[in-house]
Chains A and B, each alone.
Chain A
Amino acid sequence: MMLEVKNLQVRAEDKQILKGIDLKVNAGEVHAIMGPNGSGKSTLARALSGHPEYQVTGGEVLFEGKDLLEMDPDERAREGVFMAFQYPVEIAGVNNAYFLKAALNAKRKHHGQPELDAMEFMELITEKSKLLDINQAMLQRSVNEGFSGGEKKRNEIFQMALLEPKLAILDETDSGLDIDALKIVSNGVNAMRSPDRAAIVVTHYQRLLEYIVPDYVHVLSGGRIVKSGGKELALELEKKGYGWIETGAEPVGA
């Protein structure tokens, strides 16, 4: 099993957001996490990535059998957990290509692989940038600085393509994207799908799941997973909204 979340409880700013999440993700699977605003979807994504503002108050998370919660955020990344940010941070003065090379080499070093030199790196990014329609100008600008919403999200998935994580967590990657950008981003994610990798796709809307078709859909409400099912559950949510889940359904384990 790639990821096992057991009874995870998380606080943020003195508020208990996640009240006991159970989730199992196997290699090769794509899990969608849906739910109304404030249900805790993004909190789950951020807690898994190790964001310092999200405090784990209970439960356990195993990543390939190792205690994920014990790891620093950068160690999680180097071990193969990748989070595509809902709001990618603009970093003035840090050249995008320089940053990507540093990130890639940090991971390679961690896994005992030789660091890539400038030539090898350029070859690699040239290949990956085509997939996500990343142009040379975006690589030479500061990280996310002055990027449009769509460019930022494409840059996230581009980083993912480069870092080749085992587990990708997409935190509302579809928010603010027009249909063209959504297709590019989805293509990027789909190109990464393989029997060795898994993804958790956090989204409010079913639209993204037309392009990134999940194996499982989980509905979060009030800090718990209240319903799990196949991809058809997403369609049902689209038709009926979240109201019936929040009022009616019994909590269901994954």
Chain B
Amino acid sequence: MATTTQLAEKLQPWMGVLDGRPHGGPRWMQDLRDRATSRFAALGFPTVREEEWRFTNVAPIAGTEFTIAPPAPVSAAEVDALPYGSLPLRLVVLNGRFSVELSRLVGLPSGVRAGSLTAAATEHAEVVPRYFGQLADFSTRGFVALNTALATDGAYVYIPDGVVMAQPLEILYVSAAGSVPEMSQARTLIVAGERSQLRVVETYVSLNGGSYFVNAVTEVFAGENAIIDHYKVQQESVDAYHIASLYVNAQRSANFSSHSFSLGGKLVRNEADAILDGEGAECTLNGLYLADRERLVDNHTSIDHAKAHCPSHEIYKGIIGGKARAIFNGKIIVRQDAQKTNAKQTNRALLLSDDASINTKPQLEIFADDVKCTHGAAIGQLDEDAIFYLRARGLNYFEARDMLIHAFAGEILDRVQIEPLKAALEAELYVQLARDLAEIDGI
């Protein structure tokens, strides 16, 4: 009983915020918010006593009285000055609200919708209710419940059957922090019809630094034969909390790939949860993260092979320095009927300092017998033999080390299929690395 009391006490300020939850929109959405509020009251925040959260203590989030981030007066010039968001098609969500002024959404192919999620709930009533909240289950997950209850708005992308989006679309979640701790619930719904094709980037950035909390939930439906190339860029302020869950459902022969780049944040949790829900669906989940100082970066992935003949590929790489901690948990589920599954998972981490650490766990749950699943983890320092080899050719220690670190990151960076995004990521990553390495070298 003591725990319940503690829970209630801790949640009291949160319940106050939830009482002021948004009330607009259609009836079903209001219902969902109410139910999510009740669930959050019962679930609260996860604790380190739960296996899934063993290494990630979210008490700093639970214990802060965040207010809902208000609309912020931000000019297009300020947004344009950010390192991301340069793609011609841009959907901007500022402090949790879709901004039509900051977005560039002209020239979308016929039938494609991209814009405010709240508006779509009413305007696209024949589609949105069928998908919204269907994958992001708030009955067991506190953060998803919080998001569902509080999301003011978000991004909605809909591609009709057979439509190919030639241009990539960038969804830019911008946080403009105020003087008190603020939070926003980023909510994204992407519905891609049969045989459709989409490249989409979800970017989370800070406009002016500061401590704030972004709680993101993204749901992606990939219809039969749809091809979705998804990127997630997380470059919140170094004092920010970022908790995000990506849910994917891939239908027959759909191909979903996602590359996650986690460069910012003080306490970061990226969850990616994909269900291969039709025969021949294919999924790639790759990630690259950088953690330094006393930051914590947690990547939890799950690929659920629900049907037969589904291949999945996964490579996560981390560069960890300072006193930073990283967590990688890669779950692969192969259901009884999912014969001929071919799943491959690789996790590699480079530790740049003695105080840096990582907890890594592959988690295979296999219920079919004719499957191929491989996993491998390699954690360590830079390869001394490689450093010596480069030095023996005339590169000094620092040049040799930098070359190896860049090569390590390059394996994931090089897979980015959108050139301006790749260039921006490369530049940001190398600036951060240069700063971290200078700290290590005591310069």
The answer to the question of A27 belonging to the interface, with a C-beta cut-off of 8 Å to chain B, is no
The answer to the question of B394 belonging to the interface, with a C-beta cut-off of 8 Å to chain A, is yes
The answer to the question of B180 belonging to the interface, with a C-beta cut-off of 8 Å to chain A, is no
* Cα distance A83–B404 in the bound complex, in angstroms: 21
Contact A103 B411 (CB under 8 A): no
Chain A 37-56 per-residue mask, 1 if CB under 8 angstroms from chain B, else 0? 00000000000011110000
Contact B393 A52 (CB under 8 A): no
Contact B395 A103 (CB under 8 A): yes
* Cα distance A143–B393 in the bound complex, in angstroms: 12
Contact A88 B389 (CB under 8 A): yes
The answer to the question of A74 belonging to the interface, with a C-beta cut-off of 8 Å to chain B, is yes
Which of A76, A103, A159: most chain B Cβ within 10 A?
A103
Contact B394 A78 (CB under 8 A): yes
* Cα distance A51–B394 in the bound complex, in angstroms: 13
From B383, B385, B399, B406, A106 is in contact (CB under 8 Å) with B399
Give the chain A neighbours of B392 by CB distance below 8 A. 49-50, 73-74, 76-77, 82-83, 85
* Cα distance A82–B390 in the bound complex, in angstroms: 12
The answer to the question of B48 belonging to the interface, with a C-beta cut-off of 8 Å to chain A, is no
* Cα distance A99–B408 in the bound complex, in angstroms: 15
Q: State the interface size on chain B (CB cutoff 8 A).
A: 23
Give the chain A neighbours of B391 by CB distance below 8 A. 50, 72-74, 77
Contact B386 A89 (CB under 8 A): yes
Q: What total count of A-B pairs have CB within 8 Å? A: 74
Contacts A73-B388, A78-B394, A83-B392 hold; do A102 and B399 have CB atoms under 8 A apart? yes
The answer to the question of A110 belonging to the interface, with a C-beta cut-off of 8 Å to chain B, is yes
Which chain A residues numbered 68 to 110 have a C-beta less than 8 Å away from chain B?
72-74, 76-78, 82-83, 85, 88-89, 91-94, 99, 102-103, 106-107, 110
Contact B389 A106 (CB under 8 A): no
Contact A93 B390 (CB under 8 A): no
* Nearest A residue to B413, CB-CB: A93
Contact B384 A52 (CB under 8 A): yes
The answer to the question of B427 belonging to the interface, with a C-beta cut-off of 8 Å to chain A, is no
* Cα distance A85–B406 in the bound complex, in angstroms: 24
From A73, A78, A89, B385 is in contact (CB under 8 Å) with A89
Contact A103 B384 (CB under 8 A): no
* Nearest B residue to A162, CB-CB: B393
Chain A 118-153 per-residue mask, 1 if CB under 8 angstroms from chain B, else 0? 000000000000000000000000110000000000
Which chain B residues numbered 370 to 411 have a C-beta less than 8 Å away from chain A?
383-386, 388-397, 399-400, 403-404, 406-408, 410-411
The answer to the question of A168 belonging to the interface, with a C-beta cut-off of 8 Å to chain B, is no
* Cα distance A148–B396 in the bound complex, in angstroms: 28
Chain A: interface size category: 20 to 34
Contacts A85-B389, A88-B389, A89-B389 hold; do A74 and B396 have CB atoms under 8 A apart? yes
Give the chain A neighbours of B397 by CB distance below 8 A. 72, 74
Contact A93 B410 (CB under 8 A): yes
* Cα distance A7–B389 in the bound complex, in angstroms: 27
* Cα distance A145–B386 in the bound complex, in angstroms: 12
* Cα distance A252–B26 in the bound complex, in angstroms: 98
* Cα distance A51–B384 in the bound complex, in angstroms: 10
* Cα distance A66–B330 in the bound complex, in angstroms: 55
Contact B410 A51 (CB under 8 A): no
A92 CB to closest chain B CB (Å) equals 6
Give the chain A neighbours of B383 by CB distance below 8 A. 89, 91
Give the chain B neighbours of A88 by CB distance below 8 A. 389
* Nearest A residue to B403, CB-CB: A94
* Cα distance A99–B400 in the bound complex, in angstroms: 10
* Cα distance A85–B390 in the bound complex, in angstroms: 12
* Cα distance A127–B312 in the bound complex, in angstroms: 44
Contact B386 A74 (CB under 8 A): no
Contacts A52-B384, A52-B388, A106-B399 hold; do A93 and B393 have CB atoms under 8 A apart? no
Give the chain A neighbours of B388 by CB distance below 8 A. 51-52, 73, 89
Contacts A78-B394, A93-B411 hold; do A102 and B403 have CB atoms under 8 A apart? yes
Chain B: residues with CB nearer than 8 A to chain A?
A: 383-386, 388-397, 399-400, 403-404, 406-408, 410-411
List 9 A–B pairs whose Cβ atoms lie within 8 Å, in order of A's numbering: A52-B388, A72-B396, A72-B397, A77-B391, A89-B385, A91-B386, A102-B395, A103-B393, A143-B389
By Cβ-Cβ distance, the 3 closest A-B pairs, closest first, are: A93-B407, A77-B394, A103-B393
A49-B392, A72-B391, A93-B407 given; name 17 further pairs at CB < 8 Å.
A50-B391, A51-B388, A72-B397, A73-B392, A74-B393, A77-B392, A77-B394, A78-B394, A83-B392, A89-B386, A91-B383, A93-B408, A93-B410, A99-B393, A99-B403, A102-B395, A102-B403
